[in-house]
Amino acid sequence: MSNLSIYIINRKVKLIAKLNSSHFQFELLNHGEIIMKVKTTLEDIFFLENDKILIEKLKQMEKMKKTIEEYSNVSGITNHKILQKFIDLQIPLEIVASLAVIPLIEIAWADGKIDEQEKKMVLNSITSLGIEKTNIEHELIERWLEHKPDQKLLDAWKSYIHGICEQITQEEKKQMEEELLKHVYSIAEASGGILNTGIGNKVSNREQELINQLQSAFT
């Protein structure tokens, strides 16, 4: 069992204990069951079972080879050192894809709603950033523009990032943050700010608050 798995398991056990403490209940699981729950928590939240396209992409990624090239293809991450670290930590392709996409969809939905004009601007923005329409990352973002994310999606993302950060160096943390958040400001400017207020800073207060939350996950 990797150190990352042990760390996330411990966090999950504490969460289960906290949630059930008021009822004086605790679900006892063996290691195999806990590992399976940890693996599927973020996956289940991100790949919505009622969205056939998201499920199709999940199945597609599960069949892909675990190479640096494939990790880059599904996430848009170009730093080979960070990609290799994901491989070394045995983080599945589909999880890496969700780690890259969640900040973008969270910032797109930061002000609570997205109209058709904003959707087009967000999609045009990510295309201009080099995320092509044929990329899995682009397709995942496009699908999530149809689903307003629940708070638990961001919570799961932050928890997973915390777990990874426990296993890497400060320099690797910095590089990972740069890679995962490199397009966030561009999406914020496309989806909020000037569209909602008409004047002033293109990044709204709510978007800046969310950006601060995303950044804090790496500390």
Q: With 50 as the cut, is the pLDDT of residue 16 above it?
A: no
Across all residues in the chain, what is the average pLDDT?
79
Single-letter amino acid code for the residue at 163 = G
Cα torsion through 4, 55, 123, 104, rounded to 10: -20
Do residues 92 and 160 make contact, with C-beta atoms less than 8 angstroms apart? no
| The pLDDT of residue 169 is above 50 | yes
- State pTM to two decimals: 0.76
Total residue length of the chain: 219
Which two tokens mark 44?
């289940």
- Which of the two residues, 107 and 185, has the higher pLDDT score? 107
Going by the DSSP 8-state scheme, the letter that residue 14 receives in this structure is H
**Pick from 168, 160, 167, 153: which is nearest to 210 by CA?**
153
Q: How far apart are CA 84 and CA 90, in angstroms?
A: 10
pLDDT tens digits, residue range 59-117?
999 999 889 999 998 888 999 999 999 999 999 999 999 999 999 999 989 888 888 88
For 156-181, what is the mean pLDDT? 93
